[in-house]
Amino acid sequence: MAKQKTAFVCDSCGYDSPKWLGKCPSCSQWNTFKEIKLGSGKKNEPEALWEEPENKSNGLNKNKATRLSEVSSDEQPRIITEDLEFNRVLGGGIVPGSLVLIGGEPGIGKSTLMLQISQSLGTNKKVLYISGEESAQQISMRAKRMSLDSHEIFLLTETQIDHIFNEIKTIDPDLIIVDSIQTTVTPQNDSMAGSITQIRDCTATFMKFAKKTQTSVILIGHITKDGSIAGPKILEHMVDTVLQFEGDRHMSYRILRTTKNRFGSTAELGIYEMIKDGLRQVNNPSEILLSQREEHASGIAIGATLEGNRPLLVEIQALVSTAAYGTPQRTCTGFDVKRLNMLLAVLEKRMGFRLGSFDVFINIAGGIKIEDPAIDLAVCAAVISSANEIPVPKDACFAGEVGLSGEIRAVNRIDSRLAEASKLGLDTFYLSKMQKKSISNEYNKLNLGWCNKLGDALSDWLVR
């Protein structure tokens, strides 16, 4: 018998090598190479697994060079679901022929979300739900518990990709959901399910099928312990859109983020609430994030942030206490701890607040992670409020980036932030003085606190 050929593939970026290497030449990561078995050389091309439906070919199988000016730039109509949050994250709906990858922790609600998306398409679209992890009875029980109308949802429990495409030829669906890509295997490869080569080959097969037949495919992927999608990074490069479904399983809120999108923005955000009947869309998350705050407690400030095109008002909670040990703690939940250290240094150097011997804890209420520098001003206000035991006014909102010299810098899309604050009844808004010319006249009725330095935003309520 011929000797089985092997290769070594980087688990981080997908770089392959004929021999084991300690450091990857592509991504510079150490000890990431894993040995894989190469295929047996069976000539079973992926294109032979299906026959292109004539009504979906649309001339895309003619691989000929064409002038760019002659290519039609008309955008194809998207598949619109009843889930407004899902449509927003994808950039307006599901693009025909797109390959979408969604990842998340076990039990976070990925399968529940996909069942709801399947049901929301109604009777105009046929959906094929392929499950390699659960039995048909388990999925049926979940659909009944969620009170879903599953008449137009076709269910297939299969892991062999050739059997899957035999059913696809029979049903001719408009949307295919694969749960999950790590359980799918192809006979072209002799390695076990979930290996790097199996994931890559199966994803490539679905990608070719989606592009040539204009059928949308959604892949559900597992994640590793560090939160990244399992498999090499090349899996995320192959697909059109990468969605991350995140949240604490012990909390009711779930967040759907997009980290890659060839058909829309990569900064959009969808928020859901997990209830007994499934996932409920949260159309106005600001009201929920602020509904449980204490009105007169110190260490609480409201910041205006943006997630994609959506303005949000978030509650920043700060706790400043005397350090019990020699080294003070700096702990953040939902906020960058390095950013916090910089803001504390600015408060000490420019404002004279001595916080070097105090523990500082920051929490963004609701389990949301914020990277927008516009909440710097709100974080500083919450920290000073907790340190001096002086509550921030309940109708105050902050939006401003804090520079190293203590200046308040302008933030983008200030009108959207002002509109969200006004809608929730907040009538005092602290922002940079550099944005006076960019404010619409309709917001003059608000009490705008123009700030040039950090002390300008704190002097109104701190000194009493």
Looking at the structure, tell me whether residues 108 and 149 fall in a common domain. yes
163-187 residues labelled b (16+ CB within 10 A) or e (exposed): ebbeebeeeebbbbbbbbbbbbbbe
Token couple for 262:
């060839």
Q: Which of 284, 278, 363 is nearest to 316 (CA)?
A: 363
Q: What is the CA radius of gyration of the chain?
A: 26
Query: What is the maximum span of the chain, computed from C-alpha positions, in angstroms?
Result: 88
Domain that holds residue 347: 287-462
The pLDDT of residue 287:
76
Looking at the structure, tell me whether residues 243 and 366 fall in a common domain. no
pLDDT above 80 (res 336): yes
The Cα–Cα gap between 34 and 409 comes to 48
Whole-number average pLDDT of the chain: 84
pLDDT above 90 (res 299): yes
On whether residue 71 sits in a domain, the answer given is no
The Cα–Cα gap between 283 and 400 comes to 25
Looking at the structure, tell me whether residues 336 and 434 fall in a common domain. yes
Looking at the structure, tell me whether residues 171 and 236 fall in a common domain. yes
Provide the Cα torsion 25, 29, 35, 39; round to 10°: -60
Residue ranges for the known binding site for ATP are: 104-111
Looking at the structure, tell me whether residues 128 and 277 fall in a common domain. yes
Helix (H, G, I), strand (E, B) or coil at 165: helix
Looking at the structure, tell me whether residues 18 and 161 fall in a common domain. no
Which of 232, 250, 283 is a domain's end point?
A: 283
Token couple for 200:
């890559």
Looking at the structure, tell me whether residues 136 and 268 fall in a common domain. yes
The pLDDT of residue 100:
95
Give 27's pLDDT tier (boundaries 50, 70, 90): confident
On whether residue 46 sits in a domain, the answer given is no
Q: What percent of the chain has pLDDT over 90?
A: 41
Looking at the structure, tell me whether residues 27 and 129 fall in a common domain. no
Looking at the structure, tell me whether residues 292 and 276 fall in a common domain. no
pLDDT above 80 (res 56): no
The Cα–Cα gap between 270 and 257 comes to 7
- For 195-241, write each residue's pLDDT tens digit: 777 888 899 999 999 999 999 999 998 887 666 676 667 788 889 99
Residue ranges for the known binding site are: 104-111
The Cα–Cα gap between 17 and 8 comes to 5
Phi and psi angles of residue 260, each rounded to the nearest 5 degrees, phi first: -155, 135
On whether residue 58 sits in a domain, the answer given is no
Per-residue pLDDT, averaged over 251-263, amounts to 87
Beta strands in 61-193 (DSSP E): 99-104, 127-131, 153-157, 175-179
> Which residue pairs, CB below 8 angstroms and at least 24 apart, start in 52-56?
52/212, 52/213, 53/172, 53/213, 56/213, 56/214, 56/215
pLDDT above 90 (res 165): yes
Looking at the structure, tell me whether residues 206 and 277 fall in a common domain. yes
On whether residue 383 sits in a domain, the answer given is yes
The pLDDT of residue 154:
92
Sheet containing strand 216-221, edge to edge, reads 153-157, 127-131, 175-179, 216-221, 99-104, 241-246, 253-261, 269-275, 278-281
The amino acid present at 51, given as its one-letter code, is E
Looking at the structure, tell me whether residues 252 and 308 fall in a common domain. no
Q: Which of 195, 160, 161, 204 is nearest to 7 (CA)?
A: 195
Give 3's pLDDT tier (boundaries 50, 70, 90): low
The Cα–Cα gap between 121 and 146 comes to 16
pLDDT above 60 (res 55): no
**Number of domains, the chain:** 3
* More reliable by pLDDT, 444 or 161: 161
Beta pairing class for 358-364 and 310-322: antiparallel
Looking at the structure, tell me whether residues 326 and 410 fall in a common domain. yes
CB 221 within 8 A of CB 182: yes
- For 320-330, write each residue's pLDDT tens digit: 999 887 789 99
Phi and psi angles of residue 4, each rounded to the nearest 5 degrees, phi first: -65, 125
CB 139 within 8 A of CB 129: yes
H or E stretch including 251?
Answer: none
* More reliable by pLDDT, 413 or 36: 413
Beta pairing class for 127-131 and 241-246: unpaired
On whether residue 454 sits in a domain, the answer given is yes
Token couple for 143:
């659909």
Taking the whole predicted model, whether its pTM rises above 0.85 is answered as no
